[in-house]
Structure 1
Amino acid sequence: MKENMTMIKKYPSKVSYGLLIFIFLVFYGPLIPNLINGDLSGKMIGLIGFLSLIFAFILHLFFGTHYTIENNKLKIKCGFFSYKPIKIDEIKEVSKTKNIISSPAPSFDRVEIKYGKFDEIIISPKDKLNFANDLAIINPNIKNNITE
């Protein structure tokens, strides 16, 4: 039953703050001894500025990630990047996963979507249950393994 073909729902991504703290410490941790010793040379300030730009880009990716269900398509946006829309009619299965492969999922609380012939993508919607249920409303053939 495809009565909700014009449904538009946007799901923000869940964000693992522990991962962000880890990245912050990797970026800035090695600089702490230099800062404690008062080494604020031009090179150090330039390095801090450069690392801050990269970290700001990472923050934008983390907090700019969302998933939109629109017109029988799942649209995935990760910061400045947009993925090719997935036809919801081609989705076969939605399941929780612990896979840490690189993906548009800034959290370790992830969902794997299998679609097409052999395709899959890992995402991390904040509200996994309603997200999976909304997909199943459009395509009742989806094997929905998200129960909580």
Structure 2
Amino acid sequence: MRFYSKKGLFIGAILWGTIAFLIGAFFVLPGGPEGKGETVTAVIICSLTIAFILWLWFATYYEIIGNHLRIVAGPFRSKIDIMEIKSIRPSRNIVSSPALSINRLEVLYGKWGIVLISPKNQKQFCEKLQKINPKIEIKQGKLKPY
């Protein structure tokens, strides 16, 4: 089952603001790059950066496949054995993670593994994980049902 990442205003403002800045830089900055080579290089770098941000925005999700939780954030992919998940708790930590919202879940797994994710329906997500591994402890805090 696939759970898409909730898209929050704060992270959205950062990502879309970066895209707007990169596009606007060509129209606002006086003079611009000196030669044709610099212009082409600048366009390529900005285009690749914008493509990367859009890839993250539109392709961040969490998928439960058998006994594994697959985390996809654009080109970044990881897999966690659900049987190794110890606990899940709500978090508003803004550390870089495969999450597009500040309303996150902190998933503790293995010996020292921690990942922050932001499924749209946190409650349903946790219920699906607990069906596979009933030993997962859902710690205090209110899970978001949307």
* Aligned length, in residue pairs: 137
1:137 paired with 2:125, answer no
- Matched to 1:86, the amino acid is I
Among residues 85, 92, 97, which one is paired with 2:91 in the alignment? 97
Unaligned runs of 5+ in 1: 1-8
Deviation at 1:27?
3.2
Partner of 2:4: 12
55 and 122 in structure 1: CA distance in 2 versus 1, 3 angstrom threshold: same
Alignment check: 8 A CA contact 2:69 2:80 kept: yes
Partner of 1:147: 143
- For 1:50 and 1:89, locate their aligned partners in 2 and report how far apart those are by CA, in whole Å: 42
- For 1:54 and 1:105, locate their aligned partners in 2 and report how far apart those are by CA, in whole Å: 18
User: Please, what TM-score do these two structures have when normalized by structure 1?
Assistant: 0.78
After superposition, residues 1-40 of structure 1 pair within 5 angstroms as 9-16=1-8, 17-28=12-23, 30-34=25-29
Root mean square deviation of aligned Cα: 2.3
Deviation at 1:38?
7.4
Partner of 2:122: 128
Q: Secondary structure of the residue that 2:13 maps to in structure 1?
A: helix
- For 1:95 and 1:15, locate their aligned partners in 2 and report how far apart those are by CA, in whole Å: 19
Alignment check: 8 A CA contact 1:133 1:144 kept: no
Deviation at 1:26?
4.6
- For 2:119 and 2:98, locate their aligned partners in 1 and report how far apart those are by CA, in whole Å: 10
- Matched to 2:16, the amino acid is I
Alignment check: 8 A CA contact 1:96 1:111 kept: yes
1:78 paired with 2:73, answer yes
Q: Secondary structure of the residue that 2:48 maps to in structure 1?
A: helix
- Matched to 1:136, the amino acid is Q
Moved more, 92-101 or 19-28: 19-28
- For 1:136 and 1:128, locate their aligned partners in 2 and report how far apart those are by CA, in whole Å: 12
Alignment check: 8 A CA contact 2:26 2:32 kept: no
Deviation at 1:46?
4.0
Q: Secondary structure of the residue that 1:107 maps to in structure 2?
A: coil
Partner of 1:112: 106
- For 2:18 and 2:124, locate their aligned partners in 1 and report how far apart those are by CA, in whole Å: 30
Q: Secondary structure of the residue that 1:135 maps to in structure 2?
A: helix
Q: Secondary structure of the residue that 2:51 maps to in structure 1?
A: helix
User: Please, what TM-score do these two structures have when normalized by structure 2?
Assistant: 0.79
Can you list the C-alpha shifts for 1:84-137, whole angstroms capped at 9, x where unaligned? x21111111111111111211122221110111221111111221111111111
Alignment check: 8 A CA contact 1:98 1:109 kept: yes
Q: Secondary structure of the residue that 2:128 maps to in structure 1?
A: helix
